[in-house]
Amino acid sequence: MIVRAAHLSWSGVPPSGHDTRPWLLRPFWQQIPRRWIKMLALLGLLCFISVCLGLSINQRDQAFANGRKLQDLGNDQAVSHFPPSRQTHQTTHDPTILRVGDEYYLYHVGEHIFIHTAPSMAGPWKRVGTLLDANSVIPKGDRAAPWAPTVITVDGTYYCYYSVSKAGCRDSAIGVATSNSPGPGNWHDHGIVIQTGTGNGSDIHPYTVSNAIDPSTLITPEGDALLTYGSYWNGIFQIPLGKDLLSPRSTTDPDARQLAWEPKSLGMPNRLANTICGDPTGPHAIEGAFISYNAGWYYLWYSHGFCCNLKEDNLPPAGQEYSIRVGRSNSPRGPFTDKSGTDLVKGGGELVYGSNGDTYAPGGQGVLRDGDTDVLYYHYLNKTVGIAFQDALLGFNPLKYVDGWPVAQA
Listed residue (141, 285, 299) closest to 216, CA to CA: 299
Q: Which residues contact 115 (CB under 8 A, 6 or more apart)?
A: 105, 106, 107, 127, 128, 129, 130, 131, 182, 183, 184
Q: How far is CA 272 from CA 198, 268, 279, in A?
A: 19, 11, 9
Which of helix, strand or coil describes residue 50? Answer: helix
Sheet arrangement for strand 225-229: 216-219, 225-229, 236-240, 257-260
The dihedral sign for the CA sequence 285, 337, 328, 202: negative
- Cα within 13 Å of Cα(20), Cβ side: 6
Give φ, ψ of 236 to 5 degrees: -100, 130
Q: What is the CA radius of gyration of the chain?
A: 29
Rounded CA gap, 51 and 28, in Å?
A: 30
Q: Report, as residue numbers or ranges, the catalytic residues.
A: 94, 287
CA distances from 158 to 180, 237, 369 (A): 6, 23, 17
Select from 407, 398, 391, 299 the least CA-distant residue to 92. Answer: 391
